[in-house]
Amino acid sequence: MSELSAGRALAYATEDELMKLYAVVVGGWVVTLGSQVLLTTGGMGLALGIVGLLAGILGSLVGIVALAYKVIHDSRL
């Protein structure tokens, strides 16, 4: 196995493509947390809270899967 320097690992982790995927994960997390406030209300707020919660969870999961795919794909090059 070849050695990987800390600088090279940090440079890889902060590439533009990975930063976009990090933003998707964090954005999904923020939407999930924000929608929990709406879940405490009734009526239309409750419905929007449920939709926001599901969208946030989906966004986070999509971002995590995309990050894993990118890392695996780049490791094979």
Q: Quick one: CA torsion of 50, 54, 57, 59, rounded to 10 degrees?
A: -130
Q: How much of the chain, in percent, has pLDDT values that exceed 70?
A: 99
**How many domains is the chain partitioned into structurally?**
1
pTM of the predicted model as reported, rounded to 2 decimal places: 0.82
Asked, for residue 11, whether it belongs to a domain, the answer is no
Q: How confident is the model at residue 3 (pLDDT cuts 50, 70, 90)?
A: confident
Contact 14, 67 (CB under 8 A): no
Asked, for residue 3, whether it belongs to a domain, the answer is no
Asked, for residue 10, whether it belongs to a domain, the answer is no
**Cβ-proximal residues to 53 (8 Å cutoff; 6+ apart), any chain:** 32, 35, 36, 39
Asked, for residue 5, whether it belongs to a domain, the answer is no
Range(s) of the domain holding residue 39 = 16-75
Asked, for residue 7, whether it belongs to a domain, the answer is no
Asked, for residue 8, whether it belongs to a domain, the answer is no
Q: What is the pLDDT of residue 2?
A: 73
pLDDT at 1 over 60: no
Asked, for residue 2, whether it belongs to a domain, the answer is no
